[in-house]
Amino acid sequence: MKLVRFKADNKICSGRLEGDTVIELTPGKGEGLFALNRETGRRLPLGDVKLLAPCAPSKVICLGLNYRSHAKEVKLELPCKPMIFLKPSTAVIGPEETIIYPPQSRRVDYEAELGVVVGRKAYRLNRSKALDCVIGFTCANDVTARDKQPAQGQWTYAKGFDTFCPLGPVIETDIDNPESLKLQGLLNGRVVQEISTADHVFPVREIIEFITGCMTLLPGDVILTGTPAGIGAMEPGDRFEVVIDKIGRLANPVKKTGRKFSN
């Protein structure tokens, strides 16, 4: 099942996508994300709605160096434990929304990634039960102001700008094995990243065990599982797409706007 958030008639709604039709769902009982129990009866053509980011996370937890190919690319040793950092909720945008190239940066990079969407509150989960808290998976782009990353000595500033976390277009709930998905990143239609998630250093179950040993995950939170080799710069006017088997295609244009900063 492909779950979506969408805007229609100036109202934000939840639903599921079947082909080119969006079927609105009404909230049911329960604490979990998308505790949806029935259709409202409203069916809308996909072209008549605006798809939003498929969830509204309180936080986005990201992994660095979680693909062997990427670690080799940047000439760094594989981590012995997951390397995590956070993106703020204000970085999240949906499909076809604009990535804003900030005036503080001279190089903004794409990073195609698999996103794990949390469906229910989770804390201190064992890896054997880790996927119990997951409602599904989505496409993500861990946009990065690369020139600010080493200058700051930490990653939050470089990766935390508004619009630096595109998500979508759907949450796919019917994925049994997140470690066997083909992932691609396309810059202006040209494939620049391509890999299987089997190249993960730490699989999703281990990632969730590690994160929930530190912090509580809430419904709607998203985990970005790292990017493969092939990272590179985007320029204003470019368009970047993340394509993942069984999930779909997330596309976002890049534009430059806003006032100049001295930092």
Question: Where along the chain do its domains lie?
Answer: 2-51, 60-256
For residue 76, the model assigns a pLDDT of 81
Q: How confident is the model at residue 90 (pLDDT cuts 50, 70, 90)?
A: very high
For residue 151, the model assigns a pLDDT of 63
Q: For 75-80, what is the mean pLDDT?
A: 86
pTM across the whole model:
0.94
Q: How confident is the model at residue 78 (pLDDT cuts 50, 70, 90)?
A: confident
Contact criterion met (CB below 8 Å) for 56 and 13: no
For residue 181, the model assigns a pLDDT of 98
Q: For 176-193, what is the mean pLDDT?
A: 97
Give pLDDT tens digits for 91-149.
999 999 999 999 999 999 999 999 999 999 999 999 999 999 999 999 999 999 999 98
For residue 150, the model assigns a pLDDT of 78
| Residue-averaged pLDDT of the chain | 92
CATH code of domain 60-256: 3.90.850.10
Q: For 77-96, what is the mean pLDDT?
A: 95
For residue 154, the model assigns a pLDDT of 76
Structure-block tokens of residue 230: 């092939």
For residue 153, the model assigns a pLDDT of 67
Percentage of the chain beyond pLDDT 70 is 93
Structure-block tokens of residue 27: 């909230």
Residue 37: pLDDT over 70: no
Give pLDDT tens digits for 195-243.
999 999 999 999 999 999 999 999 999 999 999 999 999 999 999 999 9
CATH code of domain 2-51: 2.30.30.370
